Structure 1
Amino acid sequence: REILWLTGLVLLVMTMVTAFAGYVLPWGQMSYWGADVVGKAVGAIPGIGPGLEHVMEGSDALGDVFIHRFFVLHFVMAFAIVAIVGLHVAALHISGSNNPQGVEPSQPSDTVPFHPYYSSKDMVGLMLFGIVFAALAFLWPDLLSEPANYRPANPLHTPTDIEPEWYFFPFYGILQSVPSKFGGLLASAGAVLVLFAVPWLDPSPVRSARFRPVCRIGLFGLVVAFVVLGLVGRHHAAGAWMIAGRCATLYYFGYFLVLLPFAPRFEKTRPLPSFLS
């Protein structure tokens, strides 16, 4: 199951990289300045930062070389994602699917076949997603896009508000909440990297949060903190939003680094069911 979890997180990181590369390719105002912000953040890494920034940008200024490299990255990532999906599915077949109870079935009769139960359920979800995707693509294309990005990139005109796409708002909120540029980069990257350690940070033998009241409340708080960080990234951390962003950032990391490792020592879990039926 650890391999299944890790391959899923690798898919998450690759999807984030693909999304950012695709956001840069139109080369509008927000694309250019978003790439500039990321380049400066990479350049803030002590020691290797300037070299990494030069490798990413390809020259002293954002231009054709940078666009070509990100086009190749965006193109190659699509095939790499398909390969990792194959590994993810193979790992799933080895470990088997989980269940809401978090209890291993004692015999095959406690399980249901994938087809037609889950295949039909997945097809319904896929069709609903396709309807929403088609509606956004053909009817309301401006609903989730930035109007400023329709203007060609202009290095001489800095937009009033430079912000990423909405799905990066929580990490942007963490980046803004930390006063140090390198510290903000480290915290925003750590918000993803800490997920890779979750299987080892949580030593509880009870796998389902249904039977762990403290963990369940903490998980609800984690969702609230993540939403707050998204709002902080949207409104740009300043004043009350800065305080909220720092509190949410501390809670986010506290959940993984404090609550998960130490909760099993004092948490009274509910009795587990003996079977899944």
Structure 2
Amino acid sequence: MIRSLLYVPGNTPRFLEKAGQRGADAVIIDLEDAVPEAAKTGAREMLARSVPMVAAGGGQVFVRVNMSDRLLDDAAAATQAGADALYLPKVNDVALLHRLAEHLAPFEGGRAPMGFVPLIEDPEGLFEARAIARGPRVLALSAGGEDLATSMGAKPTPEVLRQPKLMIHYAAKAAGVMSFGLFRSTADFSDTDAIRAAALEARDFGFDGASCIHPAVVPVLNAAFSPSPEELDWARRVVAASREEAAAGRGAFTLEGRFIDLPIVTRAERLLTRFDKDQA
């Protein structure tokens, strides 16, 4: 369950020291856009200390690497530091994932294989999203809204981003991996009401979570991508009633005036599996 992912610049110790305490399900230590070129090597070298420090907060730790001649060294350093996954910017070809997985194997030793979260950030990657989603080690897909809009000569408005983000989302779900994102840019973090509305909308579409660049947004995402107590209670009643009806030899049934059949029961079961501790 990853509802919120907090980006933190990889060259700022004062932010990294507190990142694991912000309540995010995952922290993304950023070696790419948030770090100036002159500081990128130093940020990479800091991973040996910053990854365990952030992980001590209890969440997962991802590292966004540079998609340049720094890629392999960044990825190896993140692997050796113990990061859970790599955020891979500007992925437009599944072959890259195969090459990277092969490169990292010698660095992994006894640790779990490094996971990949490809970021789709141009039209070429958009049309390769299905293949990328089924690539090695992929645990989720996401879109880089600002870069995607820029690559198309467009503005990152919700209207511009909706269709490409849905295409990436559908590719992720078809492959059985998580999907992260909102139908808006993450750059404007000050309007929490708009972010909350966008997160609730994204959850309705089946997105699993979203990233943010400010810790104030973390609780907004955590709440929006979690079911309410009323939703959990309804799911429990649906599952319980389904078992009773199945024992009586019935499939579809009505519950409190609402028609219930297999897709609704399956949705309730999945909700409880993810969020109900009593069902875990």
Q: If the length of structure 1 is used for normalisation, what is the TM-score? A: 0.25
Q: Please state which structure has a larger fraction of its residues in helix.
A: 1
Q: If the length of structure 2 is used for normalisation, what is the TM-score? A: 0.24
Q: Please state which structure has a larger fraction of its residues in strand.
A: 2
